[in-house]
Amino acid sequence: MTLPKILDFTLDLKSKRRGKGQKIIQQRSSKRKHKESKAELTQRIQKQLKDFAKHNPEVKPKNNPENKNDRPSY
């Protein structure tokens, strides 16, 4: 039975009363993930690209002038 999973999910929520008997359920703000800065994101993506290029030598860099004629022009 999946009932315990549903009950566990409801424990992660808190209720906030508003007006006459209306309940609004909000997620706890403490559960939010840390947002990356633009510099951190760029650095992480560049590292992933370098690792990908290292493990896939058949993929050629687009900006390399030597590979310019390998691409079809549309």
pLDDT digits (tens, 9 = 90+) for 27-70: 555 555 667 788 888 999 999 988 888 888 777 666 666 666 66
Q: Is the pLDDT of residue 73 over 80?
A: no
Number of separate domains in the chain: 1
| pLDDT tens, position by position, 4-30 | 455 555 555 555 555 555 555 555 555
Q: Which domain holds residue 54?
A: 34-58
Do the beta carbons of residue 53 and residue 59 sit within 8 Å? yes
* Residue 53 domain-assigned (yes or no): yes
pLDDT at 29: 54
pLDDT at 52: 86
* Residue 45 domain-assigned (yes or no): yes
Do the beta carbons of residue 12 and residue 28 sit within 8 Å? yes
User: Rounded to the nearest 5°, which phi and psi values hold at 13?
Assistant: -105, 155
Question: What is the value of pTM for the model shown?
Answer: 0.35
